[in-house]
Structure 1
Amino acid sequence: MLKKTGFALVLAGLLAAPLPAVADAIGDNNICYEKFATADYKGAIRYCTSAIDSGELSDPDLIAALINRGVAYKTTEQYELAIGDYTRALRLAPKDALLYQNRANALRAMGDYDAALNDIQKSIDLDPKSAGAWYVRGAIAEDRGDPGGARKYYMTALSLEPENEVYRGKILGNGSQ
């Protein structure tokens, strides 16, 4: 039988003790995404904010966190905060069509149709094959009282993603935004 010294007992105790949970920016960012993916938008906002505020994220991870938090803000009708996140992300990725699309959609939801139209056109210019951008372009036209234009843009979105039920519903007149 081995005799344990005081140091060995302390070391063994430390090794056997559960490790404290270490919150890091990447972990918070991953949890943010999980919360977002399960429609827990308040949780997503909390974890994204923790990751963003840490200052430890690489630019691609920071952009992802800003997008996820922006979408969560938009979903919870905090449009100005969503627009702020998309604008911050665009400073890091000025050629990202999805960021312009997301910001356009938030601007549209706030009723700022001119700014939304400007952003969605930038998105389409950067990625003309983005069905989502054409859909948002259609929603802007619809909100502005242009059903013919809206239908044309929804048709473009549907032609790019023919299996999309939301786009199909817009064309058939029974869809929602």
Structure 2
Amino acid sequence: MRKKAGLAVVLVSLLVALPARPDAIGDGNICYEKFATADYKGAIRYCTSAIDSGELQDPDLIAALINRGVAHKSIGDYESAIADYTRALRIAPNDALLYQNRANALHEMGDDDAALEDIQKSIDLDPKSAGAWYVRGAIAEARSNAGNARKYYMTALSLDPQNKVYREKILGNGSR
């Protein structure tokens, strides 16, 4: 009996001494929680851990790349955001949201030609995406095309009439 108890103590001691193996799904979930509370640097840290683990299946990897990309964009690191969206697009080349997110980051970075290509792909894949039409409006507005910008913003609002941002863009101080 004494040998068994001693062996159990040794095994427990060894388990406690071993570093915990990272849980990629858990890190991905924490990444999302950090992102949802606007802790973008924390989100980037946990998403990176999940992504770098190599343990995520494609849907979870795409989600982690999207979350990390949005977190990068939120802190102004557009190049990293674009890299994450591009990596995710290699896995899911027909994902309209990925094209929309990358277009938005490209637009924020000032590359409206590339942004226009991506947002058109997004709209072609999902013409009922209010967010894509909104980004299309922002690109048109940046190109000093107020008439088309208003048309695209109106399309976004018609697809999502409760969206306060879209409503403000049309009724507030946005393009007229």
TM score, norm. by length of structure 2: 0.90
Identify the residue that residue 8 of structure 2 maps to in structure 1. 11
1:50-91 Cα distance to aligned partner (Å, 9 max, x none):
111111110111100100000000111100110000000000
Q: Any idea what SS the aligned residue of 2:56 has?
A: coil
Task: Compute the RMSD of aligned alpha carbons.
Answer: 2.0
Q: Is the 8 A contact 2:96 2:123 kept in 1?
A: yes
What does 1:57-76 align with in structure 2 at a 5 Å threshold?
57-76=56-75
* Matched ranges for 1:42-121 at <5 A: 42-121=41-120
Query: In structure 1, how many angstroms separate the alpha carbons of the residues matched to 2:7 and 2:170?
Result: 71
Distance 2:54 2:22 in 1: 13
The residue aligned with 1:140 is 139
1:94-122 deviation digits (Å, cap 9, x = unpaired): 00000000000000001101100000000
- 1:95 aligns to what SS in structure 2? coil
Deviation of residue 173 (structure 1)?
A: 2.8
Give structure 1 stretches of 5+ with no counterpart: none
TM-score of the pair, normalised by structure 1: 0.90
What is the one-letter code of the residue matched to 1:70?
A: G
Q: Distance in 2 between matches of 1:9 and 1:129?
A: 66
AA at the equivalent of 2:41: K
Aligned length: 172
Runs ≥4 residues deviating over 3 A: 12-15, 18-22
Q: Deviations over 1:114-156 (max 9, x none)?
A: 1000000000000000000000000101111111111100000
What displacement does 1:22 show?
Answer: 4.3
How far off its partner does 1:14 sit? 6.1
Give the unaligned 5+ runs of structure 2.
none
Q: Quote the sequence identity (%).
A: 78
Aligned to 2:154: 155
1:172 alignment counterpart: 171
AA aligned to 1:151 is R
Counterpart Cα distance in 1 of 2:9 and 2:160: 60
